[in-house]
Structure 1
């Protein structure tokens, strides 16, 4: 059985975790530094509060009436939106970032190691699936947000279906596709569970499936998603869609209290013995060597 891994993404020029602590993180995205809440950063900051105030171009302040929403306090030089680039290995992507009322900016940098994994596996799969009427691997990205994984798959040469329940987020992902000089991603504003069931009834198969489900969510028609209630069912449906010979699978979870051991148990029951399994935590280290856990993952591949 493989041991639990701690994966720290390779450094990239347009992102830096400067400091973390006191339930906050101080990050640089391109030219701008942001301070925002981070519930996992339970230790003390390394820099002073004054240093954080001086460095940050934008600081997220929670609304006292809402545990999730808030507003950004910005300095005059802060631009919104703005753009960052990601260039590593064979990937060259560009993302639009923006300050949202939910503290997010449209990018999860800890996922960059998964982008590299996706790119590598699709390049290898392309050799195996090339046959008459199958020009390239096909990939399904569920809860796909602003499309980092979709862009990585498309740039590697896959046919990509990008599914998200929020129409403005799909529009954001399309902008990222354009900025990355890519095209022909299939966009679906759809509830993930409904979409996967329908694809199963149609007998469709995918060489790659990517899931990044939230703890809670709503579909476009008000469908309710609760991670611990619906994940097992969704994984079983996804297992029916995964190609039997040439495949990869990735799932990420960011929900306090969810362990990578939970994922290992689930995946063992749903998929049985899988080739080349990797599982553990995605971790980003700040400039003071404090390691911030930012989600659990499980992934495997036939190549």
Structure 2
């Protein structure tokens, strides 16, 4: 089933406007303006509203990612926002202004956090084992942990794992297993060890580096990575989620891969695009996803 997922109402987050390759967002008390390559249309709000942002990001000349923030007086470089859903999922996230325009959270993933929380609680295993690969600052990790899972959180950047640990402590959780590893090598070892998981979560970048300089290239390695993940899933009791934010990487590519590698999931498979809607109800696409459970 092809689907479009977006966030449900959230007190501490809102996409106010998007356009002219920028987006205007509110995180708690603070409004940020930062680049967004897919916002190719015109903004709806007047320039005066954008100029009121507490922090604005400007790219360095010649760079697609790096840049610097311009802060208004009173704007902190770090702050905490809350996240609470009717199903009982309640978390807190420490945000920060990075030199890559990111703030440590991808709010469009809200429907996937809810999926992880609900599916973890539905597993038949008394303590489901969940593996989160390319785990970043851990929102998906914490959703699984809040539902009672034994979670392994893996990211190749040590500082990112420290950030995720801060989010865990802010959310009054504990017990996550933190790994600074190359995802590709770790999954290969886990397959050889015969380990199984009731939940697998992947949010791989288009390209990246492992802690020892290992190369990750999405289009070159995704097929084999998914084959390895298929071997790690508990055949009788599992959920699976993959999210991709890579321009030009169609959901149809994911559909073909999953159809070949996980053929028995067609009845529960959900695949499509994730987006955020602004105050004018326009849809800002922010990735493709596939998820299923048995």
Deviation at 1:11, TM superposition (A): 1.1
Deviation at 1:49, TM superposition (A): 2.0
Residue 160 of structure 1: aligned partner:
151
Residue 199 of structure 1: aligned partner:
190
Name the CA distance, whole Å, in 2 between partners of 1:171 and 1:14. 23
Secondary structure of the 1:146 match is coil
Deviation at 1:65, TM superposition (A): 3.8
Unaligned runs of 5+ in 2: none
Name the CA distance, whole Å, in 2 between partners of 1:216 and 1:48. 36
Confirm or deny: 8 A CA contact 2:129 2:149 kept in the other structure: yes
| Correspondence 1:175 to 2:171 | no
1:273 equivalent among 264, 268, 275: 264
Name the CA distance, whole Å, in 2 between partners of 1:298 and 1:216. 19
Deviation at 1:196, TM superposition (A): 0.3
Offset from partner CA, 1:126-180 (integer Å, 9 cap, x none): xx223xxxxx000000000000000000000000000000000000000000000
Secondary structure of the 1:267 match is helix
Secondary structure of the 2:195 match is coil
Offset from partner CA, 1:47-77 (integer Å, 9 cap, x none): 12222012x0000000004221000001011
Question: Once superposed, what is the RMSD of the aligned Cα atoms?
Answer: 0.8
Deviation at 1:272, TM superposition (A): 1.2
Offset from partner CA, 1:172-204 (integer Å, 9 cap, x none): 000000000000100000000001000011000
Residue 66 of structure 2: aligned partner:
69
TM-score under structure 2 normalisation? 0.98
Matches within 5 A, 1:116-265: 116-125=114-123, 128-130=124-126, 136-265=127-256
**How many residues are matched?**
292
Residue 77 of structure 2: aligned partner:
80
Deviation at 1:79, TM superposition (A): 1.1
Secondary structure of the 1:161 match is strand
Confirm or deny: 8 A CA contact 2:6 2:110 kept in the other structure: no
**Structure 1 residue runs of 4 or more that deviate by more than 2 Å after TM superposition:** none
Confirm or deny: 8 A CA contact 2:120 2:149 kept in the other structure: yes
Unaligned runs of 5+ in 1: 131-135
Name the CA distance, whole Å, in 2 between partners of 1:85 and 1:50. 28
Secondary structure of the 2:264 match is coil
